[in-house]
Structure 1
Amino acid sequence: MAFRRRSPGTARRRIPGRVSLLVAVGAATLSVGLSIGVAIAPASTPADIARATGTGTVPVSSQQFPDGRQLSLAVAPGAQRTLAFPREGRVTAMTCVAGGELASGSSAVSVNDEALILLATGQPLWRDLSVGDKGPDVSALQAELARLGHDIVVDGTLGRGSLSAVRVLAKGLGHQSAEWQTVPADLFVWLPAPAVTAVSCDAQVGDQVTVGDPLATLTRAVASASVQGIPAEAVPGERVIAVDDATIPVDANGAVVAEESLRILADTPSYRSALGGGQGQAHGQGQQDAGGQDGAVTVSVEFRLAEPVATLVVPPAALYAIERDDACILSGGTPHAVRLIGSQLGKTFVQLAAPATVTRVDLGVRGAPACR
C-alpha cells in the first residue's frame, strides 16, 4: 500500500467546530451518566443479610424469655388504714412526717419518753408474752425478729432467745433498761407491712393520747386487684406482676389473691399515685377511673413469667411448616419440631419439642422434610 506524504506547506485538515462541540457534549454526557450510574447502582448485600435470606447455616443462641407485657391492673381500693397508739400518755417525741416511710424495727414516736417500736407482725401482738407462751402471735413475733436479722428459731414458743432478741431490739432504740421478763405488748405499734408510707401524721409532741388514738394515716388498703386484657397467646406458666420495685404473684386468671401481696401492692408509689388526693407522688403510671376514689383505679404493670423459659433464638428465615404455635427448623439437614414462644426485633424465640442439641440452623428450607 502506498502512503501519500503531506507536503510541508499543506495545511492540516481542521475538524468542523460543530463536530468538536458534539464530541465535547457527548464526553460530558458520558461522564455524567457514569456518575449517575455509580450513584444509583444497588450496593452489595451485607454478608449477614445475604446469609439470613439465602442458604447456608447460621448459629443460634440460647436466651431466657420472660414473656413480659405491659398491661393494666384494675385495683379496687379498700378501707383507709391507720396506725394506733398502743398505750396512753403524752407524746414526747415524733419523727413521723407526711409522705415519709415507716419501717418495721424502727421508732417514730415516744410516749412518756419511751420509744414505741414499729413492728410488722403477721398477727398484731395483743397480750404480754412470757417465756413458755405459745401461739400464732408468738410465731409472728419470731418471724419478724428473724427477718430483722436476729438469730432465733421460729417455733411458736417464746424462749429465752426470743426474749433476748426483743431486748436487743428495744435497747437499740433507746430502751437501755430493757430487762423485762415479759414482752410488753403496749410497747409495739403494729404495721401491716415491713415498710409503709404515712399519708399524714395524726399526733404531735405535747398531745395527750389514749389507747387506740390515731398515730398516722396510711395509704388505703387494696380490696382486690386483677390484670386486664391478658392475651390468649401468653406463654403458659406461673405469672407475676412487677409494680415499681415490687414483684407480686398472681393466679392463673391474673388476680392478686394473697393478703400479703395486697398489702405490698397498697404501699407501691404507683398505687398511691393512682389514688391521688396527695396519697403519694405521681410516677406517671397510675390513672384514676371516672368512678373516683371509691371506684377502681388502674395501674400499669409488667405481666411476666415467674420463671423465664429457656429458648433458642433463630432468624425467621429458618422456620418452615408454620401452623399456629408450631413450626419446624432444619439443623444440618435434620428437621426438628419447635414451639413458637415469641419474637422481638427480627428474632424468633422457640422451644424444641424434643430434647436435642442445636447450635446452628439451616436457611435453605425449601423442600425440607417434615418435622412431625
Structure 2
Amino acid sequence: MKARKLWVSSAFALLVLLIGAAAGVMVTIVIAAPSAPPTLAEAERPEWLGVTTQPSDDPRKFDVVVQEGATVALRAPVTGLVTEMRCDQGQVWKSGESTVTIDGTRLLLLHTAIPLWRALTPGTKGADAVAVKGELARLGLAPSSGDALEWRDLDAARTLFAASGVSIDPESLNTDQVIWLPTPEVSPSNCAAVGTPMNAGDVLGETTPTVMVQLGDIPALQAGLRELLIDRVVIPLTDQLTPQDPSGLSAILSTPSYRSALGDGTGPVTLTATLRLVEPVNVVALPPSAVTLDPTSGACVATPSGTATVSVVSSALGQTLVLFTEQELPDRVRIDGPRQCV
C-alpha cells in the first residue's frame, strides 16, 4: 500500500512538471530540511564567569650563568700559636669581625680591594689607602674623600677594630693586626687547629670555592621574596634577588645540570633555573578577554558592582592569572572586560 502511495505521489509530481513545461511555466520544487530542535541549536556565549582562586608561586624560567671561583688562602699576619679559631662547618667570616687569635692577641678580618702590604699612616697615598677607605665606607664609617689616608680615617679604623676587641697603634694601621679577606664574607675551610704554631704568612685556612650566579634580564615580578631553583637545589634570595647566603651557592656545583653543562671544561656555564615565590599567592585564572590593560591605571576587570583593579601575575596558554588588589573577591567577572579602567 505504501509503495502504491509513493508511486502515485511520484507520478503526480511528474505530471505537474510535464503540464508546466507544456504551458511554458517553470516549476521549482523546493525540499526544505527540517529545522534543528532547540536543544541542538548553538549555545549562546556566556556573559559571566565564576571566580575561583588557586595558589601560584609565579614560576619564571631564566638562564643563569654559574662561575666557580678559585680557592684563596687565608694567611696569618704574625708568628705565634693559634689560641682561638672559629671555623665550624657553615661558619662565615665577615669583614670587620674577629674570629682568630694568635698568642692571645685578637686579629681583625678585613676585606680590601687589594691586600694591605705596608703600615698606613695619615698622609699615606696609594691604592691600599684608597682600598681601606672604601671598606670603611662600605661598613658605614664615613671616611674622608681623596686618595690619602687622613686622621679621620684612622679614627674610623680604630672604632672598627675596637668593636671586635682589637687594639691598634694610635698613629698607624699595621698589617700585623689584619687577616685579609678576598671578599666581604667568606666560608673558611681546612683551618688550623687551636695550638698550631704559625709563622707569618702560613695558611690559617682557605676559602671554599666561591660561586658566582648571574641572572639574565628580569621583567617586572609580583612582589614577594623569591628563591632560585636549579634541579633540587633551592637558593633563598633577598628582595634585591641576591643570595641570602652566598656560601649556599656551592651546592649548585653538585647538580646534574651543572655537571652535564660543564663536561670537561672549566666554566662558566649557562643553566636554566626557576625563579619562584617563597610564599604562593592566590590568583584567579581568567580568559584574556576579561582583563583590560590600561597604560595609565594598570589592569582591571568588570564585576557586578563595577570595575575592579587587578595585578597581572602571568599570562600563558590562553589564560591570564590575576591577583585582586582589593580584599574581597567578586563572585564573578564579565567575560568581556571593561573598555577602560577607571
TM-score of the two chains, using structure 1 as the length reference: 0.52
Structure 2: gaps (5+ residues): 1-45, 229-234, 278-282, 294-298
| Aligned pairs for 1:272-311 within 5 A | 272-275=250-253, 289-290=259-260, 291=263, 303=275
Please give the alpha-carbon distance, in whole angstroms, between the structure 1 residues aligned to 2:64 and 2:151.
Answer: 46
Deviations along 1:305-334, one digit per CA (max 9) or x if unpaired, are 9xxxxxxx87626835999xxx99558999
Please give the alpha-carbon distance, in whole angstroms, between the structure 1 residues aligned to 2:82 and 2:314.
Answer: 60
Amino acid at match of 2:322: F
Distance 1:205 1:331, change over 3 A: same
| Aligned pairs for 1:202-281 within 5 A | 202=192, 204-211=194-201, 213-222=202-211, 225-227=213-215, 235=219, 242=227, 244-247=235-238, 267-269=246-248, 271-275=249-253
Amino acid at match of 2:203: P
Contact 1:163–1:183, Cα closer than 8 Å, also in 2: yes
Structure 2 equivalent of residue 114 of structure 1: 105
Structure 2 equivalent of residue 192 of structure 1: 182
Structure 2 equivalent of residue 280 of structure 1: none
**Residue 130 of structure 1: SS of its match in structure 2?**
coil
Structure 1: gaps (5+ residues): 1-52, 59-64, 251-260, 277-284, 306-312, 351-358
Please give the alpha-carbon distance, in whole angstroms, between the structure 1 residues aligned to 2:157 and 2:292.
Answer: 64
Please give the alpha-carbon distance, in whole angstroms, between the structure 2 residues aligned to 1:136 and 1:242.
Answer: 38
Please give the alpha-carbon distance, in whole angstroms, between the structure 2 residues aligned to 1:93 and 1:78.
Answer: 30
Distance 1:101 1:335, change over 3 A: closer
Please give the alpha-carbon distance, in whole angstroms, between the structure 1 residues aligned to 2:193 and 2:75.
Answer: 10
Distance 1:316 1:275, change over 3 A: closer
Q: How many residues align?
A: 273
* Residue 319 of structure 2 corresponds to residue 319 of structure 1: no
| Aligned pairs for 1:161-180 within 5 A | 161-176=152-167, 178-180=168-170
Amino acid at match of 2:108: I
Distance 1:165 1:340, change over 3 A: closer
Contact 2:292–2:338, Cα closer than 8 Å, also in 1: no
Please give the alpha-carbon distance, in whole angstroms, between the structure 1 residues aligned to 2:177 and 2:69.
Answer: 28
Superposition RMSD on alpha carbons, in Å? 5.4
Contact 2:144–2:150, Cα closer than 8 Å, also in 1: no
Contact 1:287–1:297, Cα closer than 8 Å, also in 2: no
Amino acid at match of 1:125: L
Structure 1 equivalent of residue 321 of structure 2: 348
Contact 1:75–1:299, Cα closer than 8 Å, also in 2: yes
CA drift at 1:77: 1.6
Contact 2:144–2:152, Cα closer than 8 Å, also in 1: no
Deviations along 1:35-80, one digit per CA (max 9) or x if unpaired, are xxxxxxxxxxxxxxxxxx754999xxxxxx9965265745232322
TM-score of the two chains, using structure 2 as the length reference: 0.56
Deviations along 1:132-163, one digit per CA (max 9) or x if unpaired, are 234443343234334445x4335244222221
CA drift at 1:204: 4.5
**Percent identity over paired residues:** 26
**Residue 128 of structure 2: SS of its match in structure 1?**
helix
Structure 1 equivalent of residue 85 of structure 2: 95
Please give the alpha-carbon distance, in whole angstroms, between the structure 2 residues aligned to 1:227 and 1:220.
Answer: 20
Please give the alpha-carbon distance, in whole angstroms, between the structure 1 residues aligned to 2:220 and 2:161.
Answer: 48
CA drift at 1:183: 0.8
